[in-house]
Structure 1
Amino acid sequence: MFAKDTSKKIKATWQSKGRSGEHLCTIPPYGYMKDPEDKKRWIVDEEAAAIVQKIFSLCVDGLGPTQIAKWLQQSNVLNPTAYAHEKGLPVCNAPTANPYKWTNETVSRILERVEYLGHTVNFKTSKPSFKSKKKVWNNPSEWVIFENTQEAIIEESVFLVVQNIRQARRRPTKMGDMGMFSGLVYCADCGGKMYLCRANHFKPEQEYYICSTYRKDRSLCKTHSIRRVVLEEIVLRNLREAISYVTQYEDDFIQRAAERSLRERDKALAQKKAVLAQSEKRIAELDVIFKRIYEDNISGKLSDERFIKLSRDYEQEQEQLKAVAETLGREVKQQEQKKTNVRKFISVVKKYTDMT
């Protein structure tokens, strides 16, 4: 029982710390390091951050994690573990036999880290019980994210592009290149992916996408296909229309985007309000409890030693709850007043107003 009670107290402290916006991980991700003047703050490690940016750039260019890992190894880039050992940074793993060997798992983890946007992400993992040492990955909906807590390494637009690319499985053709729409085109009837078909003797206008289901079994779908140049023209035309609309009706677009963004944030905002209300309720309850134990101590029902211990525990809990409530209150206020940041999209649109 003592171990279980201790575990509950540690968990409560951990929850309070995580919900107040402090980093729960003791070692910053590759690309960041602790500020020598403030250990709770992360600062950018310029050398490692440049590699992180290169990894994202290679992914945008069409390379997968395995291909990126090979490129890094061929370029003699130290892997994160070897880099940490060389720079004297804290690290959990022992030095690797080959300091330049990168794995696709390492690259994948880097490409998925929300922290590179400058955010703090807490409660990504949990333990089934206080007896278990095994960590379980939580559903992303259970993560608690605090935005703009450190300098960003990756722009949000680049990060979103990479996530979209990784959601679709992309493979290079037998000729070794990656189609522009690889992993992004699907058959309208069966929902199967459409593969790019090309050959050395094909002219560019002869290359085409065809339904993968039809290629595997012609009885399951029809011979749906589209030439690559036609698809590119359709996409380009749609982009021009979108850019034209945004350029002509910028205020209307911002208003519509703001309304949509607010609807999407309603759920998260409601959850934060619920936690805030619960914290404030408990703070009020602790005030009442503290008053009661004080009266019991004065009347002699509670010893001084017991009173000191209880009051210390309750005060500590209340301080933690106040920190959580303050953070949540600030976030709720910011989200209620915040207008969606579509200005970034507008600025991107203005870069490409002359698409040919």
Structure 2
Amino acid sequence: MNETYKVALYCRLSEEDKKKAKKGDDSESIKNQKELLLRYCEIKNLTVYDIYADDDYSGSDRGRPDFNRMIKDAKERKFDMILAKTQARFARDSSLIQELLYDKFLEWNIHFKTIVDNIDTSSIGTKKSSQIIAMSDEWYLEDLSRNIRTVFENKKIQGHHIGSFAVYGYQKDPEQKGHLIIDKEASEVVKQIFYLYAQGYGKTNIARILNEKGIPNPSEYKRQKGLRYKHSGGYTGTLWKYFSIDNILHNEMYIGNMVQNKQCNISYKNSKKKQIPKSDWIIVEGTHEPIIDLELWNTVQKKLKQKFKSFGDGKIGLFAYKVKCMNCHSSLRSSKNHGKHYLKCETRFFHKEACPGAFISTEKLEKEIIKQLKKLSEELNSEDIEKGISLNDNLLQRIKKLENEINKNKKEIKKTDDYLKQLYLDKLNGTLSEYEYKKFSHDFQTERENKNEAIKEGKDKIKELTKRLKNADERKEIVNRYLNVEKLDRTMVEILIDTIYVGTNDRKNKIQPIKIEWNF
């Protein structure tokens, strides 16, 4: 060593070091590490080139900013030696230790030395000690990671919020750790998104509306509030987009449920994220105040499952996917003529004997619904209806219909299972080739999955209708809420109506049967 021999000092402190340190014990602090290393250089008469320090970074993290700056400088031979308090301060990753200390540093002619555990790459005798320390440090990190993960998972199961940032619309409760409270400003935007979607506006159109109003997207909003939240940068990084709207509309956090464990690190050594299957998410109900009520939430979720076609102005039809032909039960399709919207059954166009068809203007249908709604309200205030006679009959009929559909699907699934067994036997005896077996079995399995999904949806619907059956007061409140409406919007249609059946128009007798299955 001579006067031109330059030394780089490296210090590191991680969050786990801070937590395990005793009160008043700053032996692991950045400050003390620096003092120790500088004192060593002074005694040995070494010239310090620079001090590299990473605060709050794990020893297995390869993304440490000052660490990477130091390695870059080492490659460019800006100094001759790296000095650290211990090997663990430098790194806790055995593969990284091997790669740098006994490969790259030798190639770059960089000397590595530690003060406390006496690792010195210029001494052949310390290589094995270095490798043993590296393995021990890595085992420590792996155990620590597992323990931390277990603690966090337990907190998630208890409904505590674990995360650096609250979901858009909420903020962390300053008085209760792990609890969320409503952010008044952002929550109004969340409500607006749900209301607009329920009224028929598409996700892209909602994003455009918010952008035109100059409302910052969630990441930009957090940044403006002083949170260290990164976004993609530039002007477009502050804009609302289709997927940000979609994420909000699907997020159960807005009905008061804590949804966590949606993603995790690839490993304790790699901070890159991977998605966790929805079946493994941790969801705890009723942990915080909801922004969206269940009625609006259910309306939106039902709509999200359907594929709507807009009229070109960003809005879907008032009765989209709500109206069916009374004869063949096909959904009526929207058409437009001379500026007016109509609904028609297209089955009759396939074959003249397939269906007599159904045809009605949306204007006429809207008037009929408002008329029946007012009539229903009058009946609701009579003694008979108050006891639930008329509405209960309607709900019981729908429950019975759903039960029949479930039983039918169960029988179809049994048939499908029998077909699959037979297919397998045909493959074994050579009647079917492997290609044919895979093709046919895939089709049958897809059909079975669809039937199972239909059964699940049917059971959920029965549960919902049974709940309504028991609550006559709630049904009365819903009807009276919309008693004096003169015009419907998409939100009202979603809340009030499950399905509308329209029959063939008898022009001679001026009769067109219309049956409404209400949502209450």
Shorter-chain TM band: 0.5 to 0.7
- Asked if residue 197 in structure 1 is aligned to residue 330 in structure 2, the reply is no
Of the three residues 116, 119, 144, the one matched with 2:283 is 144
How far, CA to CA, are the matches of 1:27 and 1:213 in structure 2? 52
Of the three residues 263, 274, 289, the one matched with 1:134 is 274
* CA 52–355 in structure 1, closer or farther in 2 if over 3 Å, else same: closer
Gaps of 5+ in 1: 261-338
- Offset, 1:106: 0.4
Query: Which 10-residue stretch deviates more, 157-166 or 225-234?
Result: 225-234
How far, CA to CA, are the matches of 2:352 and 2:266 in structure 1? 48
- Asked if residue 46 in structure 1 is aligned to residue 184 in structure 2, the reply is yes
Of the three residues 358, 362, 375, the one matched with 1:225 is 358
1:87-106 correspondence runs (5 A)? 87-106=225-244
Contact 2:211/2:240, CA 8 A, preserved across alignment? yes
* CA 187–11 in structure 1, closer or farther in 2 if over 3 Å, else same: farther
Task: Name the structure where strand makes up a greater proportion of residues.
Answer: 2
1:232 is aligned with what amino acid? E
Query: Which structure has the bigger radius of gyration?
Result: 2
How far, CA to CA, are the matches of 1:246 and 1:135 in structure 2? 50
How far, CA to CA, are the matches of 2:192 and 2:258 in structure 1? 22
- Offset, 1:109: 0.9
Partner of 2:224: 86
* CA 24–176 in structure 1, closer or farther in 2 if over 3 Å, else same: closer
Partner of 1:263: none
CA-to-aligned-CA distance 1:83-123 (integer Å, 9 cap, x gap): 11111125354434325421111001111211112232244
Query: Which 10-residue stretch deviates more, 228-237 or 24-33?
Result: 228-237
- Offset, 1:236: 4.2
How far, CA to CA, are the matches of 1:241 and 1:95 in structure 2? 56
- Offset, 1:150: 2.1
Of the three residues 321, 332, 347, the one matched with 2:477 is 347
Number of residue-to-residue matches in the alignment? 269
How far, CA to CA, are the matches of 2:191 and 2:371 in structure 1? 31
- Asked if residue 209 in structure 1 is aligned to residue 209 in structure 2, the reply is no
1:139 is aligned with what amino acid? S
- Offset, 1:39: 3.5
* CA 167–219 in structure 1, closer or farther in 2 if over 3 Å, else same: farther
Contact 1:70/1:102, CA 8 A, preserved across alignment? yes
TM-score (norm 2): 0.43
Query: Which SS does the other structure have where 1:72 is aligned?
Result: helix
* CA 7–234 in structure 1, closer or farther in 2 if over 3 Å, else same: farther
Gaps of 5+ in 2: 1-137, 397-466, 487-520
C-alpha root-mean-square deviation of aligned residues, in Å? 4.2
How far, CA to CA, are the matches of 2:219 and 2:257 in structure 1? 23
Contact 2:377/2:476, CA 8 A, preserved across alignment? no
How far, CA to CA, are the matches of 2:282 and 2:379 in structure 1? 36
Query: Which SS does the other structure have where 1:51 is aligned?
Result: helix
Partner of 1:70: 208
Contact 2:263/2:274, CA 8 A, preserved across alignment? no
Q: Percent identity?
A: 25
Contact 1:168/1:184, CA 8 A, preserved across alignment? no
* CA 113–193 in structure 1, closer or farther in 2 if over 3 Å, else same: same
Structure number with greater CO (CA < 8 Å, separation at least 6) is: 1
Task: Name the structure where helix makes up a greater proportion of residues.
Answer: 1
Query: Which SS does the other structure have where 1:198 is aligned?
Result: strand
